[in-house]
Structure 1
Amino acid sequence: MNTAFDVIVVGGGAVGAACARELARAGRSVAFMDPDTDEGQAWRAAAGMLAPEIESRDSDDPTVALGVAGRDRLVVLAERLKESIGAEIGLWQEGIAHAAFDEADETLLRARVAHQRQQSLHVDWLDAEEAKTRWPWLGPAYGALWAPAGGGVDPQRLVEALRADAVHLGATLITDRALSIERHGDKVAAVRGAERYPATDVVIAAGAWSGLIEGLPRPLAVAPIRGAMAALPAPEGVGRAIVYGKGAYLMGRGDEVTVGSTMEYAGFKNEVTAAGLARIFAGASQLCPALARSPVTRTWSGLRPVSADGLPLLGRDPSLEGLWYATGHGRNGILLSGITGVLIRQLIVGEPTVIEDLSAFDPGRFWKW
């Protein structure tokens, strides 16, 4: 291809499409590359939950603030995508809970509520009676952390809408697999796939496949982690709900319940195993004992891009000018897609970022010794 782009985004999933859309909005000539094959990309398998308060790993987890900003951005995107191209992304916000089923979990979750309140996050503690009243189908819980702003989107519709609006704004979608980065001295020059695609800047947003791209200055600390899920008929009364428990979550949507998910180091082997499903069903049956009698209607899995420390890589490469990273989002790619697009656009354009301190997500953190 003879056309030279300002920016090429390698990846057309939720994060890549969001980056392409934002850069097109900023007036850049943008292309985003995706092979458009189902190889277990994380977004194709995601449940679409927006739960930063629930997914936090510890009291100082920097992804909580990033996740809250991500959820806020998706609320804005839902409206803008509807206005721009008439797309609905299935956004809903009716709250998410994390139930405790023993004293240790209760202590941990109560402490999380207290800490997050100190950070001005809107979370509450529901005692056992309140939890049972809200979810009569719930197993014998000690109580639950309740995040009323939590909710979900439809991942498939979100990605389709982001892609369509990016193209509507002038971006070019290239159906090709990026194989390597070409450089000229200490500057990025092009992306090579079936053809050569010149660009001034390149954003690596290829999810679990990011580290397979040749020509990167150094090995990328992102690996595929398999997440398996299953769907079952919804027991009576479950309705629309998202509740986490010990090692599993339950997402009620219509007449179906989705339960998940595993975190398995299995390389690029995208399959569902009996052992993985057994772990999911043990936790899901604790959440909703009626599920133990429900037949499984379908199973699936996806490959999440997880970094060595569990945090995303957001920002420039420390040595190759024009190379940027937007990968390693783990199980939060949908949640963080919109805000990642905004941050990458601001970094490339040279604007102040909406999140001032991005040092925790600096790609160079793995290469400083």
Structure 2
Amino acid sequence: MQASPRIAVVGAGLAGACAAFALAPYATVTVFEASSSQAEAFRAQGGLVHPLMTRRARPNWRHEEALQALERLLEATGVRVQRGLLRVAFEARQYTDFQEAARRYPQWASWLAPEAVRDHFPQVHAPYGALWIPSGLLVPVATLIQSLLAHAGVPVHRGVEILDWQETATEVVLQAANGAAYTFDYVVLAPGYGYVRHPELARLPLQGVKGQAIALSSLPELGHLPPVVANVHVVFGPDHLHVGSSYELTFSSLAPSPAQSLQLQEQAAYWVPAIARATFKEAWVGVRVIRPLQPLPVLSPLPSRRRVWLFSALGSRGLLFAPLLASWLPKVLFEPERLPPEVRLTRA
């Protein structure tokens, strides 16, 4: 990387915070965030990550590198996590898939037949068995984001919405909604669902997926359980139970849905029957960004651009992929040809 380039990171979510943290030792970094709230947008996230997150419990793309990158961030920031989770097979065909996963990847998971789940976790209903994944992590996402930005030591301008950008041969000029203009050598756009407000980004093959999560009253008899992951996930906190998440590919409102809240509790209660007795406290909504035709994130210059980059499409695996991709930025920003082709945008 050239000597102390000026780099703007637009978006202070997980991708933006990881990018700022990775670039700060090598550049003069400034972060812009449209929202004035630090943590509200991340309350819908469960914060769960492990190496076998696919439906058939197979390793994710570059899973070992990705988990190592996350562990490095956790060590550097001192953010504390909970380890170990129970992944319950939620349909009959996963019975064989999960057994095979445990056989092929004993370093990550062990198979628990239905009777073994009853012995070890009697509060959990697992008619098709489960995987015990000791390396699974429960990460406080909002805390990690705040810690990354604090450790990066970069200025964070909240409540500043970037509307547009103009790229020249030597710099990028950002135009803000407040009328201000800011000049940088490079810009990394990490806008989350805010991409839909930018015509250049809205034309890209991206899609928002609405997800809702709920908080239920805590139940003392469940306090010792690890996170349970099936077609929904349940995190057992001291103050509330966190249940998520719904997946809506089409939506017209970002408001929580009472019907979705009820469905989430009913689904969670199928796997942990005592949850039927919990009382509803609150619902949260977030929107994940995905690439429908390519289930991997984006880290790439925008088509026909060199100095404006996009860091997006992390979907439900942001904790897995964001630290790894961000760690590449100091090397690839000036040499984008070094990027894996799977994460690059191609000309439409």
TM over 0.5: yes
Matches within 5 A, 1:194-205: 194=178, 195-205=180-190
Q: Which secondary structure does the structure 2 equivalent of 1:151 belong to? A: strand
- Matching residue of 2:174: 191
Contact 1:139–1:288 (CA<8 Å) still a contact in 2?
Answer: yes
Contact between 1:178 and 1:191, CA under 8 Å: does it hold in 2? yes
Asked if 1:96 is matched to 2:85, the reply is yes
Offset of residue 38 of structure 1? 4.7
Judged with a 3 Å threshold, the aligned counterparts in structure 2 of structure 1 residues 268 and 69 are, in CA distance, closer, same or farther, namely farther
Q: 2:68 aligns with which of 59, 62, 72?
A: 72
Deviations 1:74-128 (CA, angstroms, capped at 9, x unpaired): 322222123xxxxxx23222x222212553231232344445x2xx852221112
Structure-to-structure mapping, 1:1-369, within 5 angstroms: 6-25=6-25, 27-38=26-37, 43-53=42-52, 55-57=53-55, 64-82=60-78, 89-93=79-83, 95-114=84-103, 117=105, 122-167=108-153, 171-175=154-158, 176-184=160-168, 189-193=172-176, 194=178, 195-215=180-200, 219-235=203-219, 236-245=221-230, 247-267=231-251, 269-309=253-293, 310-348=295-333, 350=335, 358-364=340-346, 367=347
Within 2, Cα distance between the matches of 1:113 and 1:126? 9
The ranges of structure 1 where at least 4 consecutive aligned residues each deviate by more than 6 angstroms after the TM superposition are none
Instruction: Give the partner amino acid of 2:310.
Output: Y
- Give secondary structure in 1 for the equivalent of 2:322: helix
Secondary structure of 1:271's aligned partner: coil
Q: Which residue identity does 2:6 align to in structure 1?
A: D
Query: CA separation in 2, counterparts of 1:348 and 1:102?
Result: 43
Q: Cα RMSD over matched residues?
A: 2.8
Q: Deviations over 1:239-279 (max 9, x none)?
A: 2411112x211111224221111011345732211232233
Contact (CA 8 Å) 1:180, 1:215: kept in 2 or not? Answer: no
* Gap change, CA 1:290 and 1:66, over 3 Å in 2: same
Deviations 1:139-182 (A, max 9, x none): 14331122210011111111111111122xxx332231111121
Contact 1:90 1:157 in 2 (8 A): no
What one-letter code is carried by the residue in structure 2 that aligns with 1:10?
Answer: V
Query: Which segment is superposed worse, 260-269 or 292-301?
Result: 260-269
State the Cα distance separating 1:69 from its structure 2 match: 3.1
Cα offset for 1:51? 2.5
Unaligned runs of 5+ in 1: 83-88
Q: Deviations over 1:320-359 (max 9, x none)?
A: 1112221010112233332232122331155997xxx722
Contact 1:227/1:263 (8 A) holds in 2? yes
Cα distance between partner residues in 2 of 1:42 and 1:135: 33
TM superposition shift of 1:238: 4.0
Tell whether the 8 Å contact from 2:57 to 2:97 is kept in structure 1 after alignment. no
- CA distance 1:286–1:215, shift in 2 (3 Å): closer
What is the CA deviation profile of residues 39-78 of structure 1, one whole-angstrom value per residue up to 9, with x for unaligned ones? Answer: 997534212112241x2145877xx144543332232222
Cα gap change, 1:209 to 1:114, in 2 (>3 Å): farther
Structure 1, 332-341 or 146-155: larger mean CA deviation:
332-341
Shift of the 139–303 alpha-carbon distance from structure 1 to 2, 3 Å rule, reads same
Using the size of structure 1 for normalisation, the TM-score is 0.82
- Give the equivalent residue in structure 2 for 1:85: none
AA in 2 matched with 1:78: L
| CA distance 1:46–1:127, change in 2 (3 Å) | same
**1:167-225 superposed Cα distances (whole Å, 9 cap, x missing partner):** 2xxx332231111121236x762221131111121111111112422455x81222321
Inter-partner Cα distance in structure 1 for 2:277 and 2:164: 50
Gap runs ≥5 in structure 2: none
Match of 1:86 in 2: none
Kindly tell me: are residues 201 and 6 of structure 1, through their superposed partners in 2, closer, same or farther at Cα, counting changes over 3 Å? same
Alpha-carbon spacing, 1:352–1:90, altered in 2? closer, same or farther (3 Å): farther
CA distance in 2, matches of 1:59, 1:301: 26
Q: Distance in 1 between matches of 2:54 and 2:255?
A: 27
AA partner of residue 13 (structure 1): G
Check conservation: 1:189, 1:200, Cα contact below 8 A. yes
Letter matched to residue 160 of structure 1: Q
Q: Secondary structure at the match of 1:158?
A: helix
Contact 1:188 1:323 in 2 (8 A): no
